[in-house]
Amino acid sequence: MFTRLDDILYPSKVEVIHFEDKGKYIYPIFKCGRSAIKDQAELKGYKKLVNEQIRKLSDVDVFLRNPKERYRSGFQTYIHNNFELDYQTIFLLGQQGYVLDRHYLPQINWLLNLMRYMDPSSRIHIHNIEMLNEYAPIIKDNPKKSNLEAPMSEWMEMALRLDYVLWADMTGQAWTPREILTKLAQDDTLAYGTVFKGKGIANVLP
């Protein structure tokens, strides 16, 4: 990571939680049931695997959410949690492609951060968030400030298109990191090229 913002967006401590009684290793993502997963882990005393410990896993499960719904909710959460910031300034920065918080960082970027610590042959099992109830009770996400519009930039629009492929076309299946990136590149070449070859924040990853 190269800047303080990278540390905010991409946690240097990547955690996977071992749901021992379910035989699953779950990677919690902000605004995708993360609070429910963490609460259940604390309640049951589940163990965490961090960074290099993840490399020994052959399978990791993730839960994804409707991209636009998640982005809007995540941005509103950020504004709610940082009420001292000027909304118009944050909105204008967002229109220029700046992402300031992991609550509304696209889901593809969360997966990229996980991939940094995975064995290339390991698989990511992608699930719709509706399946999370089988592992942890979901608390309905109530918008903090539903009247506030979330900004949109070309980069974010393209990133959300990749998120849509992940959520709509790749759930219910297991993929290696390379297979995920290949699928995204094939299904939406324009979005993939914009996100990974432009000046998007994904470029900070190896």
pLDDT tens sequence across 133-183 = 999 987 665 555 557 899 999 999 999 999 999 999 999 999 999 999 999
Q: What is the pLDDT of residue 140?
A: 64
**What pLDDT does residue 205 have?**
43
Helices 189-197 and 154-169: crossing angle, nearest 10°? Answer: 130
> Residue 107 burial (CB < 10 Å; 0-12/13-18/19+)?
buried
Mean pLDDT per 10-residue interval, the chain, length 206 residues = 66 92 97 96 96 98 98 94 93 94 96 96 97 85 67 96 98 97 96 78 42
User: What per-residue confidence (pLDDT) applies to 18?
Assistant: 98
CB-based contacts of 40-44 (< 8 A; 24+ apart in sequence): 40/135, 40/136, 40/137, 41/17, 44/19, 44/20
pLDDT for 11 equals 76
Structure-token pair, residue 79: 């504004």
Q: How far apart are CA 117 and CA 191, in angstroms?
A: 25
**Alpha-carbon distances of 3 from 10, 155, 186, rounded to whole Å:** 11, 19, 31
